[in-house]
């Protein structure tokens, strides 16, 4: 599946465009409590599943960002290994090998790939912004991102929201997090990458992230695993929510990245590489406030029997010192 083309086609279709506009209208002005949390240093994470299942979640975030008049956004994207061009795809496949080849691959991929270029969405343009200063962990290689799609829906919603408000979209620095776990199982790179990202954050800049937190069922896991999954979607969602709590507690609160990685691997979570970076940005003792969790049915899209789900979550990651503000 060419996922970049798939999601572009969703947005080009009138039904997709109407879904975007309707979701933005439902959440016009955003969520004041979410805005306060972001201003206090929280990071919000949204999905990139089908427009049908992600529209309200992304719209909540985007309307909050635009209404709060954020001047700049640092958006942490997923670098999907399945869409990498050669030779990056081979290097990505070698990351799991604790060998000389794996170490060499990690050296080439560690950190994040940066995109600050202008682009045209289905709802208008996102203008070019200044690139971050040179850093060995912030790579400039547009070819790597040619087929990457994880922030495409977000950017389209951002352009649509800005147009509805009659304002220019905020600047967006897109950082597609690549590899932070080295082949020996160490996570030192996460702290180093977080330090580089911190240089981009100031009072006029808010940080967001994307990631589909689980991939479950036919086409994603082995048949014996799929057979053990609850057939009832509510039960499956509850089971998934418990695993996600364990993953977030391990990564954010305790900085037990190995445990979080193991849970994320079992769930086939997009955020295995991103979570340690978010944890380093927020500091030990951070927490996740789950705002929404739903299962997006990909059986028809992937031409698979049910069950075949991608989990769409809206999560708010709070720094340790955050205090709830009711607005």
Burial of 202 (0-12, 13-18, 19+ CB in 10 A): exposed
Residue 324 counted as domain residue: no
Rounded distance, CA 264 to CA 246, Å? 10
Angle at Cα 39 formed by Cα 112 and Cα 279, nearest 5°? 40
- Burial environment of residue 17 by CB neighbours within 10 A (0 to 12, 13 to 18, 19 or more): middle
In order along the chain (327 residues), what is the average pLDDT of each group of 10 residues?
95 96 98 96 98 97 96 97 94 91 94 97 96 94 96 98 97 97 96 97 96 97 95 96 98 98 97 98 97 97 96 96 51
The per-residue pLDDT for 321 is: 62
Predicted pLDDT of residue 324: 52
Residue 327 lies in a domain: no
In this prediction, residue 217 carries a pLDDT of 97
Q: Per the structure, how many domains does the chain have?
A: 1
pLDDT at position 323: 55
Closest among 70, 73, 203, 219 to 151, alpha carbons compared: 73
Looking at residue 327, what is its pLDDT?
Answer: 37
The answer to whether residue 303 sits within a structural domain is yes
Residue 145 inside a domain? The answer is yes
Q: Can you tell me the distance from the alpha carbon of 64 to that of 62, in angstroms, rounded to the nearest whole number?
A: 5
Q: Is residue 60 part of a domain?
A: yes
Instruction: Tell me if the pTM is above 0.75.
Output: yes
In a domain, 323, yes or no: no
Which helix (H) or strand (E) segment is 210 a member of? strand 205-210
Q: Where are the alpha helices (DSSP H) in the chain?
A: 3-12, 14-26, 32-39, 51-67, 88-94, 100-109, 152-165, 188-198, 223-228, 233-248, 257-267, 274-282, 299-302
Interior angle at CA 31, CA 290 and CA 20, nearest 5: 90
Residue 326 lies in a domain: no
pLDDT at 97: 86
pLDDT at residue number 322: 59
Q: What is the pLDDT of residue 325?
A: 47
Q: What is the pLDDT of residue 326?
A: 44
Q: State which residues form the domain around 263.
A: 3-318
Structure tokens at 127: 């203008």
Residue 196: CATH number of its domain: 3.40.830.10
Tokens found for residue 141: 């290689």
Closest CA to 160 of 294, 53, 68, 55: 55
Is 265 part of any domain?
Answer: yes
């Amino acid at each position: 599946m060419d996922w970049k083309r798939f999601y572009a086609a969703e947005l080009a279709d009138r039904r997709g465009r109407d879904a975007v506009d309707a979701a933005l209208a439902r959440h016009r002005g955003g969520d004041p409590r979410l805005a306060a949390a972001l201003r206090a240093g929280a990071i919000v994470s949204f999905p990139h599943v089908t427009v049908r299942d992600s529209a309200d979640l992304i719209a909540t975030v985007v309307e909050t960002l635009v209404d709060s008049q954020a001047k700049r956004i640092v958006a942490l994207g997923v670098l999907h290994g399945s869409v990498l061009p050669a030779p990056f795809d081979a290097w990505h496949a070698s990351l799991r090998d604790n060998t000389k080849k794996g170490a060499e691959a990690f050296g080439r991929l560690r950190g994040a790939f940066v995109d600050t270029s202008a682009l045209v969405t289905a709802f208008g343009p996102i203008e070019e912004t200044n690139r971050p200063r040179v850093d060995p962990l912030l790579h400039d290689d547009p070819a790597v991102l040619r087929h990457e799609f994880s922030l495409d829906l977000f950017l389209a919603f951002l352009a649509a929201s800005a147009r509805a408000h009659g304002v220019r979209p905020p600047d967006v620095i897109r950082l597609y997090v690549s590899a932070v776990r080295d082949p020996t199982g160490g996570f030192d790179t996460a702290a180093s990458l977080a330090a580089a990202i911190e240089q981009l954050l100031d009072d006029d800049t808010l940080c967001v992230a994307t990631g589909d937190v689980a991939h479950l069922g036919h086409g994603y896991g082995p048949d014996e695993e799929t057979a053990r999954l609850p057939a009832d979607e509510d039960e499956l969602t509850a089971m998934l929510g418990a695993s996600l709590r364990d993953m977030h507690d391990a990564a954010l609160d305790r900085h037990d990245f190995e445990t979080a990685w193991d849970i994320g691997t079992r769930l086939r979570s997009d955020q295995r590489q991103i979570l340690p970076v978010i944890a380093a940005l927020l500091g030990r003792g951070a927490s996740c406030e789950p705002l929404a969790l739903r299962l997006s049915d990909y059986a028809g899209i992937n031409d698979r029997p049910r069950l075949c789900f991608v989990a769409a979550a809206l999560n708010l990651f709070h720094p340790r010192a955050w205090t709830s503000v009711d607005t």
